[in-house]
């Protein structure tokens, strides 16, 4: 997948900007701090997921002094061009494909498949479990429609069960109906999360040694409320719910379920959050992101767009070179960097751009 054209109107510090990008090329966005490099990456990410990775407030994305912003793109996917547009005003998003309105966000999300690495990702290992669930869920949602439907059905049931628990008189038979249906959904969610994590870690174990000098063993543990080794998972889940019923009633909230799942990443059996250095965490994250891209490629036949925001700032030269060397050749990549990166490091098509105060200029010097 490739972004061929990108246009911003009143997005962040861009007034009216138009960019053309080449297929399967590395685009290096260089410039001093606070010039608008990350804003470009953020615009592509926004087109992919209809949200930013830096703010939850749409108003922050509108150029100061303006009322609305628009992002337009021509996106190549399997040889066909999609014309996509998002217009945001009064905190409302309007979506278009070939200028026709797209009513459902879910039909638009994922048309641009982008994978991002940014410095804030480093907190993934120390954040609350919700962040790691989101990390895994976001990818599964893009990959599997049945997962998306099951997860949203489960979330609806969970809300209803919690409402039932909050009633002055709790109808236990109604609770039981919800529990049974939630167990059905959770069988699917648990098995898909488990399978996906296994698949991802298989990739990570191959990729991690490229970034790390050490020989650490990289693993991940899926933590859920039931032992997934059980022969009769349904029966085991039922027993768990029966055991926690009194607590559910006491707290007026569903205490167990896949909404509390966690994914713990370990190096040599020790959770990363406890012992890993910043360098090791960065290496694991890069391996995770590239592993995700590999899975997307194997399942969908094309690589996602890779957005590497400020990835070089804390890697030494040999790791920077290794990273560049291992980026798949049929992947379009955007790298932001405040430091100049030598052209000689690249053995594939690369384009350099100089970003200055919301203006982009292709840098033609070698
Ligand atoms: N809504 C907005 N309207 C106008 N300007 C904005 C808006 N939001 C951010 N900016 C400006 O955009 C610039 C920051 O852009 P960006 O985050 O892309 O920086 P960068 O070039 O990636 O820098 P760094 O190397 O420090 O990460 C700042 O000058 C900031 O004031």
Residue 338: DSSP 8-state: S
Contacting residues for 233 by C-beta, under 8 A, at least 6 apart? 187, 190, 226
Could you tell me the CATH number of the domain that includes residue 215? Answer: 1.20.1050.90
Q: Is the CB of 337 under 6 A from ligand 1?
A: no
- Is 32 contained in some domain? no
Reported in sequence order, the residue ranges of the chain that DSSP labels E, i.e. its strands, are 2-11, 14-20, 26-30, 68-77, 80-89, 92-97, 100-102, 114-117, 218-223, 262-267, 270-271, 305-309, 333-337, 350-356, 359-363
| pLDDT attached to residue 81 | 96
Mean pLDDT of successive 10-residue segments in the chain (366 residues)? Answer: 97 95 96 95 96 94 97 96 96 96 89 92 93 93 89 97 97 97 97 97 91 84 94 95 97 98 95 88 91 94 95 85 91 95 91 93 70
Q: Please give the pLDDT value at position 235.
A: 96
Question: Is 255 part of any domain?
Answer: yes
**What is residue 364's predicted lDDT score, i.e. its pLDDT?**
64
**β-strand partners of 9:** 16, 70
Query: Ligand 1 within 6 A of 27 CB?
Result: no
> Does residue 44 fall inside a structural domain?
no
| Residue 243 within any structural domain of the chain | yes
Closest-lying ligand 1 atom to the alpha carbon of residue 310 = 27
User: CA 123 → CA 75, 180, 264, 281, 308, distances in Å?
Assistant: 31, 36, 13, 9, 16
- pLDDT of 278 reads 85
Determine the distance separating the centroid of ligand 1 and the alpha carbon of 37, expressed in angstroms. Answer: 8
Kindly state whether residue 285 falls inside one of the protein's structural domains. Answer: yes
211 belongs to a structural domain: yes
Do the domain assignments include residue 351? no
Say how many domains are in the chain. Answer: 1
Confirm if 16 and 360 have CB atoms less than 8 A apart.
no
Give me the domain span that covers residue 154.
123-303
Ligand 1 atom with the smallest distance to the CA of 39 is 18
**Residue 94: predicted pLDDT:** 97
Non-local (6+) Cβ contacts of 88 within 8 A are 58, 61, 62, 68, 69, 70, 94
The answer to the question of residue 349 being in a domain is no
The residue whose CA has the least distance to atom 15 of ligand 1 is 36
Distance CA 341, CA 9 (A): 29
Does the C-beta of 37 come closer than 6 Å to ligand 1? yes
Closest Cα to atom 29 of ligand 1? 34
Q: What is the predicted pLDDT for the residue at 365? A: 56
pLDDT at 280: 86
The answer to whether the CB of 24 is under 6 A from ligand 1 is no
What ipTM score was computed for the predicted complex, to two decimals? 0.98
Atom of ligand 1 nearest to the CA of 338: 25
Say if ligand 1 is within 6 A of residue 338 CB: yes
């Amino acid at each position: 997948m490739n972004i061929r054209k990108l246009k911003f109107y009143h997005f962040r510090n861009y007034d009216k900007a138009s960019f053309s990008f080449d297929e399967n090329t590395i685009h290096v966005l260089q410039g001093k701090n606070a010039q608008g490099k990350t804003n470009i990456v953020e615009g592509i990410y926004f087109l992919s997921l209809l949200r930013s990775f830096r703010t939850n407030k749409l108003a922050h994305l509108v150029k100061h002094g303006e009322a609305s912003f628009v992002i337009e793109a021509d996106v190549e996917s399997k040889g066909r061009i999609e014309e996509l547009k998002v217009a945001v005003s009064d905190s409302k998003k309007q979506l278009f494909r070939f200028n026709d309105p797209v009513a459902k966000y879910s039909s638009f999300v994922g048309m641009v498949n982008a994978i991002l690495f940014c410095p804030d990702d480093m907190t993934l290992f120390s954040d609350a479990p919700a962040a790691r669930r989101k990390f895994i869920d976001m990818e599964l949602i893009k990959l599997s429609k049945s997962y998306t439907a099951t997860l949203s059905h489960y979330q609806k049931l969970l809300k209803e069960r919690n409402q039932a628990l909050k009633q002055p008189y709790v109808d236990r038979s109604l609770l039981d109906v919800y529990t049974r249906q939630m167990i059905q959904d959770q069988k699917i969610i648990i098995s898909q999360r488990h399978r996906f994590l296994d698949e991802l870690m298989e990739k990570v174990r191959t990729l991690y040694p490229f970034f790390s000098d050490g020989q650490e063993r990289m693993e991940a543990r899926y933590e859920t409320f039931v032992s997934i080794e059980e022969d009769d998972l349904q029966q085991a889940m039922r027993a768990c719910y029966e055991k926690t019923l009194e607590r559910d009633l006491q707290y007026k909230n569903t205490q167990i379920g896949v909404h509390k799942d966690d994914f713990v990443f370990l190096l040599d059996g020790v959770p990363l959050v406890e012992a890993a250095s910043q360098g090791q965490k960065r290496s694991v994250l890069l391996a995770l992101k590239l592993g995700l891209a590999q899975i997307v490629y194997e399942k969908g036949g094309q690589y996602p767009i890779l957005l590497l925001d400020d990835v070089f700032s804390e890697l030494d030269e040999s790791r920077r070179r290794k990273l560049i060397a291992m980026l798949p050749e049929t992947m379009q990549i955007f790298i932001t960097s405040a430091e100049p990166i030598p052209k000689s490091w690249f053995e594939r098509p690369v384009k350099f751009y100089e970003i200055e105060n919301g203006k982009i200029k292709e840098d033609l010097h070698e």
